[in-house]
Each structure stands twice: as structure tokens, then as C-alpha cells.
Amino acid sequence: MKEQVPKSMTNWIEEIKKHFASDEKAQELFSRCFINTYDTTIRKQKDGSTFVITGDIPAMWLRDSSAQVRPYLLLAEQDSHIADLIEGLILKQCMYINHDPYANAFNEEHNGNRYHEDRTDMTPLIWERKYEVDSLCYPIQLAYLFWKSTGRTTHINKEFLEAIQKILSVWKTEQHHQEKSPYYFERDNCPAQDTLSHQGKGTPIAYTGMTWSGFRPSDDACTYGYLIPSNMFAVVVLRQLHELAKEVLKDERLAAEAIELANEIDQGIQTHGTVHHPTYGTIYAYEVDGLGHVNLMDDANVPSLLSIPYLGYCPFDDPIYLNTRAFILSKENPYYFEGTAAKGIGSPHTPDQYIWHISLAIQGMTTTDQREKDYILSLFKTTDANEGLMHEGFDVNNPEKFTRPWFAWANSMYSEFLLSYCGYAVKGSPLQRSLKSEMNGGSLNESRN
């Protein structure tokens, strides 16, 4: 290990072990997965910021880095060292957004490293420039949950406000992508999912009020430009920004701007984002274009349709969500796979018949059925390929076949699932609000009370 594991972290490991006193496998998985991000991916910078690599790729994704540290918000409530690291990450994210709000992944230094020589506006600091709405959602969400967890407001600073203005500007511009957007992206000699059609601008769209996304959280190109779960995530974080603007900044202008955009995007989702399915009734589409085309599926990466109550867009028992959930956890979803070892949601980003530990974690955190939670836990224990860590995708018939042996996001998602399974959740999150009514008694996590 790079340094001694903080006492706050070992305390949580011991706490979770109490819940699984006779289950050594669950104990081992949590111990290894919970430490993984801290032990292998976090790099404190000289300027006080924090760089967090995704794992086996030497770059920092705005999305992945946020999700990787999210379980550590429980530690940050009382551990100033962990809180400082997370505040440093928020600073680094804001610095990157201010550098280029259209980029999804960045280098630690201005070294010119990149995934591929793409036709788009690159700089030496950018690893990849695939524009994804969720890449701009995650830093807002992290800043909001960090405030709720620690009470700190020092991260709501000049860099944060500059980044917020860039995000709002991009999302408004991308409401009119074809007419106003400067963004384009083309990659040669690659699968179709790695580039945008129509001279790098993507497939045609009509105005809906939603904001356009070139790529999904998988980094695969959108089939249609309005990615519903990412627009839902934008609505959630804009409402969180509205709260921050009113409660912390006392800025009524910013609060009004955030809620106005949230309402415009939400209206677009409600008007264009649902379809009537002959078996499941009214469900949410994964992508639409405003021209009548819809893509009915779900992807393992978050934000996903499966994750929308976890994100906070709707209650866990929302009827349209439950209809959508039934659809995407069925063979009607082209990326739902069943095998002899497991069943769940995969992605066109990984091989056929591979499902993701991330989607299993989301499935477990969004169900209200304890039997389903128990089943998800059993899958985690039997699909780690005996490595004590989670992976990206794995074969539903043979978990020994998997992608990405070092994928910190998946380890953090398992950790968050197991914490929620035991009744613990990050303050200010939908999971915390849901669990709060179910749990009682003292614990390491004050949010249970």
C-alpha cells in the first residue's frame, strides 16, 4: 500500500465485518474494494488538488473520479484528511472543466498523452474529448454531496463558479446543437461507436428542450442525441445547484438560472422521453432525437435508466420507473443477458453476453425487494474470478472471463452497494433518504439516525 490506510477507513471495514461475521467472502470483497481507490488511484498534487486515475488507464475521467470517491464521503464526515482529498478532487475537476468543458478525460500534466489522434480541438492536457453530459453532472453532484456530508463550503469558490458558468453555457448551447454548437468529433479506423457521424456532429435532431450529448457514459457514441438518463441527471444536479446557490451563495440570479434550465430539460424528458410499450406500458426511452426516433435499451454505465432513483430523478416506487425497470431487466432490453453463472445488464462497449458489476450494484441499490438485494450480493461473491475485486464486464456463463482487472469505479460501486445493504448511505443522497426511514439505532454513520 502507498501509505497507511486511514483509521476512519479501517473503522468502516470493521463495522461492515460485523454485519457479515460468518461470511468471509463478503468481508474480503469489501475490505479490498473499499480500499482500492484510496490505495491505488489517488494522487495529491502540489497545488492542493487531487488527481484520481480510473485504474488501468493513466487518465482521470470527470465521471469515474466522482464515483470512485463517493463512498468516502462517509469517512469525510469526521476525517479531515479524506475530506481534504475529496475537496482537492472537486478543485481538480473544476480546473479541467474550465480548461475544456467538452472533454471527458484528462492527463495529470500537460504531457500530450491521449487515447487516440482524433479530429477535434485537443490540448496537451486532454486525454480524450468525447463530450458527455454526465461528465459535467458528476462534479456538481459531488460538490453538493460533499457540502451535505461535511458542512464545508470552501470548495464553492471562484474556480467552482467559473466551472458552473461554463457548464450552464454548454448545456444551453447544446439545446440547439445543430445551430449553435462548436463541438465536433471524428476518429478514423475505429468501430462506429467510437466516432460521430455527419462530419463529427452526430445524427440529426430537433429541438426538445433537452441538452444534446455526443457520447454515453460508456464513452460510446449516442445513437440519438438526447440521452434520457443523462438529461435526467442534469435535471437533478441543476436542482442541487439551485439549492447551493440559495443556501450557500445567496445568489438568486444563479438559483433562478439553474432551476429554469432544469425545468426546460425536464419538460423535454416528459414530452419526448416516454413511449408506450405493448407489454410494460409507459416506459422511458434510452435515447430520442425529437424527430420521432427512439432507442429502447439500457446500458450498464451510470447514468442509466436503471439508476434514475439512485440519481434522485424519481422515487424508487415511481410507476413509470417500475415499468421501465421491468423492461430493462428483461430480454426485451438488447443488453440484458442471462447465463448459467449470472444475469444482468451489459453494454455494447463490452463483448456480447458480458454483464457489469456496476449495473449489478445499481440493481441492488434501486430495488426495494430484500430478496433481490440478497441475490445481487450472492452474484458479487461468485463473479469476482476469485480475485477479491470487481471488474468491468464478465461472461454470464464463465466469470473467469472478464474485462479490466483494475477498474476502480466498479470496486467503489460494490462498496457503496454493500454499505447500503447494511443501512449506510451518503448524506443528502436519495439512498440516505430512503434508508433513513427504515433504520434506527446508533452507528458510525450519523445519517442513519
> How much helix, strand and coil, in percent to the nearest 5, is found in the chain?
50, 10, 40
The SS3 assignment for 45 reads coil
Q: Are 135 and 63 in contact (CB under 8 A)?
A: yes
Do the bridges between strand 50-52 and strand 42-44 make them parallel or antiparallel, or are there none, so unpaired?
Answer: antiparallel
Take residue 77 and report the three cell numbers written for it: 464526515
Query: Domains in the chain, ordered, with CATH?
Result: 33-430 (1.50.10.10)
Instruction: Please tell me the predicted confidence (pLDDT) of residue 247.
Output: 98
* pLDDT tens across the length of the chain (449 residues): 446 899 999 999 999 999 999 999 999 999 999 999 999 999 999 999 999 999 999 999 999 999 999 999 999 999 999 999 999 999 999 999 999 999 999 999 999 999 999 999 999 999 999 999 999 999 999 999 999 999 999 999 999 999 999 999 999 999 999 999 999 999 999 999 999 999 999 999 999 999 999 999 999 999 999 999 999 999 999 999 999 999 999 999 999 999 999 999 999 999 999 999 999 999 999 999 999 999 999 999 999 999 999 999 999 999 999 999 999 999 999 999 999 999 999 999 999 999 999 999 999 999 999 999 999 999 999 999 999 999 999 999 999 999 999 999 999 999 999 999 999 999 999 999 888 756 544 444 443 32
Q: What angle do CA 445, 378, 20 make, to 5 degrees?
A: 40
CA distance 199 to 184: 8
Query: 10 Å Cβ neighbour count for 27?
Result: 19
For residue 50, which phi and psi values (nearest 5 degrees)?
-130, 125
CA distance 322 to 334: 18
CA distance 123 to 416: 35
Helix axes 252-272, 228-244, angle to 10 degrees: 160
The HSE-up count of residue 213 (CA atoms within 13 Å, CB side) is 31
Q: Are 399 and 350 in contact (CB under 8 A)?
A: no
Largest separation between any pair of C-alpha atoms in the chain? 61
Q: What is the DSSP letter of 439?
A: -
